[in-house]
């Protein structure tokens, strides 16, 4: 187990791009802290029905607005629902909405970028003007209009958020693919008889993975905030379904704000902590995937 034996053992295979990125990531303290916060949150959120006795919508009429204690760790709300259960369920919803909407916006963003960069001048111009248009729309108003059309609930919220967030990504993907298109190995692959889908998915996609991963993590944080904002305004996830945003909505009442602090502090804290952790993680990933950060 000494350093000498480790040096003596030859590497079996070469370090791939993923392994090298992981090694850079591992040396980043903030990113590891982000990961250390995020992983327990994810585990708690996905496994809570197994270990927490209360369901998010169970009403305990003998315990309205109860302060945190031994029975209800994080207290209860105005109708006697357990805050911790709602917090975990809300996390589930918020994170699901964020992850699914970002996944959708990545697919849209990548495909639009791919069409623009490989489709020729006219297509490129058309698509990019569309992207410009989507980007010039003021996001809050666009969001409100979309949300009022799509309605409330998990699916409409996912649709609204994913429709808002793809244009930036499609621009980044387009720029990267245009650069790749002229690179010798892509011309060489065409010389080998590679077809367009092959070029796009075997050569284009892996060389865009840094953009996609970094964008995905940072955009998930953004999407969580968007969801919270929408739900706070009553346009995202509608009660009785829990989400961090609509739990915060309770704080609009002055009584809750002043006297039942636990009812909004916990979802607010969870929101801040998660978004912060994801941002740290995203920064770490960006450094890890940026070839200029370490040339080994």
Partner 1 sequence: MMPEPILDIQDLRTVFRIGGRDIAAVSDLELSIAPGETVALVGESGSGKSVTSLSVMGLLPKKVGRIASGTIRFRGKSGVTNDLAQMDGESLRRIRGNDIGMVFQEPMTSLNPVYTVGEQIAEPIRIHLGRSHKQAAEDAVKLLADVGIPDPARRARQYPHELSGGMRQRATIAMALACDPALLIADEPTTALDVTIQAQILELLAKVQAERGMAMLFVTHNLGVVAEIADRVAVMYAGRIVETGPVDQVFAHPRHPYTKGLLRSVPRLGEATALKRAGTPLPTIAGSVPSLANLPQGCSFAPRCPYAIDACAVAVPALVDAGEGQLSRCIRWQEL
- Which spans of this chain sit near partner 1 (rule: CB under 8 A)? 13-17, 120-121, 183-195, 198, 202-203, 206-207, 209
Give, in order, the Cα–Cα distances in Å from 211 to each of 25, 97, 205, 273, 291. 15, 21, 10, 24, 12
Nearer residue to partner 1 within complex by CB, 4 or 192 = 192
* Shortest Å, Cβ 193 to partner 1: 4
Smallest CA-to-CA distance from 246 within 97, 139, 105 is with 97
* Shortest Å, Cβ 195 to partner 1: 6
* Shortest Å, Cβ 122 to partner 1: 10
Query: Quick one: 187 exposed, middle or buried, by C-beta within 10 A (0-12, 13-18, 19+)?
Result: exposed
Helices (H) then strands (E): counts for the chain: 13, 0
* CB neighbour list of residue 285: distance below 8 Å, 6 or more residues apart: 21, 25, 31, 213, 214, 217
* Shortest Å, Cβ 211 to partner 1: 13
Nearer residue to partner 1 within complex by CB, 18 or 40 = 18
Give the burial string for 127-159 (b: 16+ CB within 10 Å, else e). Answer: bbeebeebeeeeeeeebeebbeebebebebbbb
| Tokens representing residue 260 in the block | 């039942």
Nearer residue to partner 1 within complex by CB, 53 or 191 = 191
| Tokens representing residue 163 in the block | 């429709």
* Shortest Å, Cβ 289 to partner 1: 11
Nearer residue to partner 1 within complex by CB, 15 or 129 = 15
Residue 224: left if φ>0, alpha if ψ -120 to 50, beta else—which one?
alpha
Euclidean distance between CA atoms 227 and 161, whole angstroms: 8
Nearer residue to partner 1 within complex by CB, 31 or 208 = 208
Euclidean distance between CA atoms 273 and 261, whole angstroms: 18
Nearer residue to partner 1 within complex by CB, 153 or 197 = 197
* Shortest Å, Cβ 108 to partner 1: 23
* Shortest Å, Cβ 16 to partner 1: 7
Nearer residue to partner 1 within complex by CB, 12 or 62 = 12
């Amino acid at each position: 187990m000494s350093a000498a034996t480790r040096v003596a053992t030859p590497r079996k295979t070469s370090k791939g791009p993923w392994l090298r990125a992981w090694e850079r990531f591992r040396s980043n303290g903030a990113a590891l802290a982000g990961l250390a916060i995020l992983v327990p949150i994810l585990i708690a959120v996905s496994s809570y029905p197994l270990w927490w006795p209360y369901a998010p919508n169970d009403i305990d009429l003998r315990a309205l607005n109860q302060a945190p204690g031994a029975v209800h760790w994080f207290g209860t709300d105005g109708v006697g629902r357990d805050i911790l259960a709602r917090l975990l369920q809300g996390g589930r919803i918020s994170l699901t909405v964020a992850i699914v909407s970002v996944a959708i916006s990545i697919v849209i963003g990548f495909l639009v970028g791919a069409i623009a960069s490989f489709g020729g001048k006219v297509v490129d111009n058309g698509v990019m003007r569309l992207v410009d248009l989507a980007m010039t729309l003021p996001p809050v108003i666009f969001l409100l209009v979309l949300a009022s059309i799509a309605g409330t609930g998990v699916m409409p919220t996912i649709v609204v958020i994913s429709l808002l967030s793809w244009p930036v990504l499609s621009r980044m993907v387009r720029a990267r693919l245009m650069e790749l298109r002229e690179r010798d190995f892509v011309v060489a692959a065409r010389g080998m008889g590679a077809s367009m889908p092959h070029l796009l998915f075997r050569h284009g996609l892996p060389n865009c993975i840094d953009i996609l991963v970094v964008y995905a993590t940072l955009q998930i944080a953004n999407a969580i905030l968007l969801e919270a904002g929408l739900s706070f305004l009553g346009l995202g996830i509608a009660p009785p379904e829990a989400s961090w945003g609509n739990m915060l909505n309770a704080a609009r009442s002055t009584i809750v704000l002043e006297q039942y602090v636990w009812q909004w502090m916990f979802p607010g804290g969870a929101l801040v902590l998660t978004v912060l952790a994801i941002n740290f993680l995203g920064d770490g990933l960006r450094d890890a995937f940026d070839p200029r950060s370490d040339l080994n």
